[in-house]
Chain A
Amino acid sequence: MILKKIKEASLIGRSGSRFPVHDKWESFLKNGGRGYLICNAAEGEPGAFKDKFLLKNEIDRVFEGIDVVNNFFQIEDTFFYIKKKYYKLFKKELLERSKKRGVKIKLKEDRYVAGEETAVISSIEGKRADPKGKPPYPTEIGLWGKPTIVHNLETFYAISEIANNNYNGERFFCITGDVSREGVFKLKEELSIKEVLQKTGNYPDFEFLVQAGGGAGGIFISEMNIDQPCNGLAVIEVYKKNDFDKNKKMIEISNFLMYGNCDKCTPCREGIYRINEMLKKGFDEKIFNELLSVLEKSSYCPLGKNASKVFKSLISIDEN
């Protein structure tokens, strides 16, 4: 049975939050095993383009994965939540496959936070794509109050592999930045960043640093620490150390988050705004740390918490 196979494969969801797929499924079953399924192709993270790659090259595999879940559970409706740009690019292929299965397509709001799973649910319900608090988790109370499984598009690809007995623990890595071979590469999940760069022919011959996990949510790691796996989203961006402007990067990320957040909670709305302001007008380390602390400990959704991790890694990049 597919759930057992997924559990044996220890499949981790591909959204970057590292949630085991079988945990979601078991929770869904525990809550009645009946409800909705959402394929999340929001891909709002800067530097991530694996969903686009899969839509272009492996769309049938993705839909096979959707079929597997539909066959296993009593799914009332399946939604394909997709960023507008991708929809335009792959409209024909998508409609052809979704119509056949009765899969409904919902276009994503143009905001970073609109890709977060509870925001996705709000959006499909016809509301603003704002995140909701967890718990309850979507598998408990999800779309229109019913248990709902939300998986990243790539997770469906992996599910299809598992169903066909050809999964071998590989995921898709996006390599970008100052590299010679930018692109999407399918490699073993547990590989270190260093190995990924080496195997893809992207290991720089200059002093560098990387951002691993995505352009907004990924942490910055110095060259000497890349002997660790890529946590979160499998996105590795390489920067030339000599050209790297830490302050500029922080402004860029805080700008992105200011525009991409939902403005609901105080730490995220005001905290990131003040960080952005102090980066431009004059840095105050004490206040900066206070702001990171409230972002990390008290933001409403993972966006704020993650922002703090990113800023922290960036500010201390020279020390490690």
Chain B
Amino acid sequence: MKIKLDGKTIEVVGKKTILEIAKEHGVDIPFLCNHPDICVTGSCRICVVRINNENRCRSACDTVAVEGMDIITSDPEIEKIRKTNLELLFSQHREECEDCVWNPGCKLLKLAEKYEVKINKYVDRKDHYPEIGFGGIVEFDSSKCIDCRNCIEICKKQNVSFLEMEGKGHLFEVVPAKDRACVYCGQCIIHCPAGSFESVGEFEGVEDAFKGSGDENIVFQIAPAARVSISEEFGLDPGTVSTGKLISGLKKVGADKVFDVSFGADFTTIEEAKEFLEKFKDDDLPLFTSCCPSWVRFVEFYYPRFVDNLTTVRSPHIISGAIIKSLASDPEKTTVVSVMPCVSKKYEIRREELKVNGLNPVDYVLTVREVGRLFRNKDIDFEKLPDSSFDDPFGSASGDAVSYGVAGGVMEAALRQAFFMKTGKKIKEKNLKERSDFSFELEGKEIKTKKISGLSQAVKVLEGLKKYPKLFDYLEFMSCPGGCIGGGGQPMPTNEDIRKKRRKGLISTGTDKKWKSAFENDSVSEIYKQLKSKKDIFHTSFRAERNPENINKKWPIKNRLKSKTDGLKI
């Protein structure tokens, strides 16, 4: 099919929107609300273009090109429309640019500059709008919201539908639903073009870990997915591996030791493989992974009947945190900080049942974005940092452990481990990585496995399991699309393109490891010997919550009216 784009005839194959075609051909059509993860809302009206010389403009994001279409992406009237619509968007968006998840790199500000927008042309309509806290984990600043509804769309796609529209006077606005619970996946944060969502402590809390009396031993541990995505915080290409620089940077800001969460992952793998084999023996499968706290919360509240299917093995950073403290000379004076691609991990560390000897295994969670901010606050020139290695004795993890950061990695690791434990042989790798539904034979029985990332997929599988409980034997669930590489604490923007690059980068860091799988890792058995109370460290419990009223009791939704001084006008 042939169309004309700004006077140039081009060939288009397949069904594509004008915005997609323009992007492919290097033609810049500005837009705000469009995100390839969600169905087009078409609300911002910035991507307007002129088609076939029509009087009225159309939005490029939701107009599919057809044969012979003549598209003009810019003329004086189009530019004027974009400018006016931008001014209107700014009229409802309270600028708080210093403390914004999009800073630096805010698209609204870039467009304002390009179109010479007077951002204060109108009095901010939402000046008095509250900040709404979801369980002290995620915050929604409604005074910044530009009503594009991306958050509602992604929340709906995640099958959580915690965010919804409510009619207030003449307006429909985004509000938290009263009878639903947020699972803290943080997808709203990375899909909001206006920076209305953030995780709690995203700005004011990044240095909290260093605010003790000064004699603490501050230990950082880095999640697999963080070592790649941190690069994007400093303008490097997505997929660039920056493990060494990240370690150096953390040391520079005051970390005494920097460990690899992956060593905890090897323990998760071994313990989970044991549990799988027990359940296999007792014919009590399927088993679900549980290292994604949003997934756990999702099951506890929305599918409580499956709570007993969750593996009781703790997530890697909780295990490694507990090991670090157990082996520390003074656990009370040891502060453990996890660097995570995830917002939900902030929630996980507050779960009471994870305490070991009265201590939290992990004291703070910093998202990748927050580490970026911390480094920028301290004027650290990231690119010039030297490459350092993880500290001993927990510096050695298997390649499988690093793969925890990509969808499928957790279960693949546990399967290799379980198969080895049962048979003393290595599992046949064919199709294990490629297929989302991998089957193999164990003692003459077929074991059916499934990997799911994104809660939209999870619901389909759970509904299937309701009808056919033996549909699968072992399932990995990750709440975020693509697994942790697409987590809610990752740099912005995050989209499928970027997730793919992060995945590739992360997998590359696992291949040069000395050991591929947990059972090959010698240092693991060493640590096992040193630990006394293993049960406390490796297992946890879950609770089904069937009463919607109790859902938000412990993690309440709170409104806070902002004072004038909260906002930092530019």
Contacts and interface: CB of A to CB of B under 8 A. Distances in A.
B57 A264 contact: no
Contacts of A148: none
B521 interface: no
Contact of B170 (A259, A266, A291, A293): A259
Contacts of A258: 170
Nearest to A296: B56
Contact of B43 (A259, A265, A271, A273): A265
Contacts of B80: 290, 293
B122 A298 contact: no
A271 B88 contact: yes
Contacts of A287: 121
B45 A270 contact: no
A307 to B, nearest CB: 14
Nearest to B89: A266
B48 A266 contact: no
Interface string B81-104: 100110011011000000000000
A300 B172 contact: no
B217 interface: no
Given A262-B172, A264-B43, A133 B57 contact: no
Given A262-B172, A269-B147, A300 B45 contact: yes
B56 A270 contact: no
A145 to B, nearest CB: 13
B85 A298 contact: yes
A267 interface: yes
Interface residues of A, number: 28
Interface string A283-320: 00001001101101111100001000000000000000
B437 interface: no
B68 to A, nearest CB: 14
A271 B89 CA distance: 10
B310 to A, nearest CB: 32
Contact of A293 (B41, B81, B125, B169): B81
Given A128-B165, A297-B55, A270 B91 contact: yes
A259 B84 CA distance: 22
Given A133-B62, A297-B55, A264 B88 contact: no
Contacts of A263: 147, 171-172
A261 B81 CA distance: 20
B53 to A, nearest CB: 13
A146 interface: no
A269 B59 CA distance: 17
Nearest to A281: B123
Given A259-B170, A266-B43, A298 B89 contact: no
A287 B83 CA distance: 12
A255 B149 CA distance: 23
B407 interface: no
Contacts of A267: 45, 84-85, 88
Contacts of B172: 262-263
Interface in A89-114: none
Contacts of A271: 88
Given A274-B91, A293-B81, A298 B45 contact: yes
**Chain B interface residue number, banded:** 20 to 34
A298 B57 contact: yes
Interface string B116-131: 0000011001000000
A63 to B, nearest CB: 34
Contacts of A255: 170
A73 B42 CA distance: 33
B84 A290 contact: yes
A262 B173 CA distance: 11
B41 A264 contact: yes
A293 B45 contact: no
Nearest to A257: B170
Contact of B42 (A265, A273, A293, A297): A265
Contact of A133 (B48, B59, B81, B171): B59
A305 B45 CA distance: 13
A194 to B, nearest CB: 29
A141 B349 CA distance: 48
Interface in B52-69: 55-57, 59, 62-64
Nearest to B87: A290
A249 B329 CA distance: 79
B62 A273 contact: no
A293 B172 CA distance: 24
Nearest to A270: B88
Contact of B84 (A128, A135, A262, A293): A293
Contact of B81 (A259, A294, A305): A294
B57 to A, nearest CB: 5
Given A293-B80, A293-B81, A300 B42 contact: yes
Given A128-B165, A271-B88, A274-B122, A266 B59 contact: no
Interface centre among B81, B88, B165, B169 (most CB of A within 10 A): B88
Contacts of B63: 133
A259 B171 CA distance: 7
Contacts of A273: 125, 170
B92 A297 contact: no
Given A128-B165, A258-B170, A266 B45 contact: yes
A305 B92 CA distance: 22
Contacts of A293: 77, 80-81, 84
A293 B496 CA distance: 36
B88 to A, nearest CB: 4
A160 to B, nearest CB: 35
A297 B48 contact: yes
B44 interface: yes
A270 B170 contact: no
B93 to A, nearest CB: 10
Contact of A266 (B57, B85, B125): B85
B28 to A, nearest CB: 18
A291 B121 CA distance: 13
B297 to A, nearest CB: 27
Interface string B31-52: 0000000000111110010000
27 contacts: A128-B165, A259-B170, A264-B41, A264-B149, A265-B43, A265-B44, A266-B43, A266-B45, A266-B88, A266-B89, A266-B146, A267-B45, A267-B85, A269-B147, A269-B171, A270-B88, A270-B91, A287-B121, A291-B84, A293-B80, A294-B88, A297-B56, A297-B77, A297-B81, A298-B56, A298-B57, A298-B85
Given A264-B149, A297-B77, 9 more contacts: A133-B62, A264-B43, A265-B42, A266-B45, A270-B92, A271-B88, A297-B81, A300-B43, A305-B56
Q: Kindly list the 7 A-B residue pairs having the minimum CB-CB distance in the complex, ordered from nearest.
A: A270-B88, A258-B170, A263-B172, A298-B45, A259-B170, A294-B84, A290-B84
Interface of B: 41-45, 48, 55-57, 59, 62-64, 77, 80-81, 84-85, 88-89, 91-92, 121-122, 125, 146-147, 149, 165, 169-172
